[in-house]
Amino acid sequence: MEIPWFVDFENKFRDRGFAVIGVSMDEEGWQAVKPYIREKNVNYRVVLGTEQIARRYGGIDSLPTTLLIDREGRIAAQHVGLVGRSAYEQEIGKLLGAPAE
């Protein structure tokens, strides 16, 4: 449900220095991820995650988990499970220094 929002956020905010990065924790790796990216028309970077990466960001116990990371690499917000689009837009606007449209 959130992926179309992230596609929109990438389009809407990239010119203001915002980037969406998807991290797939899929055990099947690119074999499973690439077809999904094509099917969902994902327009942002996607990387394969590892347990080491998950630990680096405080541990990821549930999926989906969404992190908003500021320009200094700090976690500005963390959401486990589904969160409303407007909540993301407000947080992104705050990170960019102005309310989201």
Tell me the per-residue pLDDT of 36-47, one tens digit each, with 9 for 90 and over: 999 999 999 999
* Rounded average pLDDT over 65-71: 94
The whole-model pTM stands at 0.87
pLDDT at 59: 86
| Calpha distance 52→101 (Å, rounded) | 36
Given a cut of 80, is residue 101 above it in pLDDT?
no
Given a cut of 70, is residue 100 above it in pLDDT?
no
Question: Are 91 and 13 in contact, with CB atoms under 8 Å apart?
Answer: no
Tell me the percentage of the chain whose pLDDT exceeds 90.
Answer: 82
Residues sharing a CB contact under 8 Å with residue 68, sequence separation 6 or more, in sequence order: 75, 76, 77, 78, 88, 91, 92, 95
Given a cut of 60, is residue 75 above it in pLDDT?
yes
CATH code of the domain made up of 3-95:
3.40.30.10
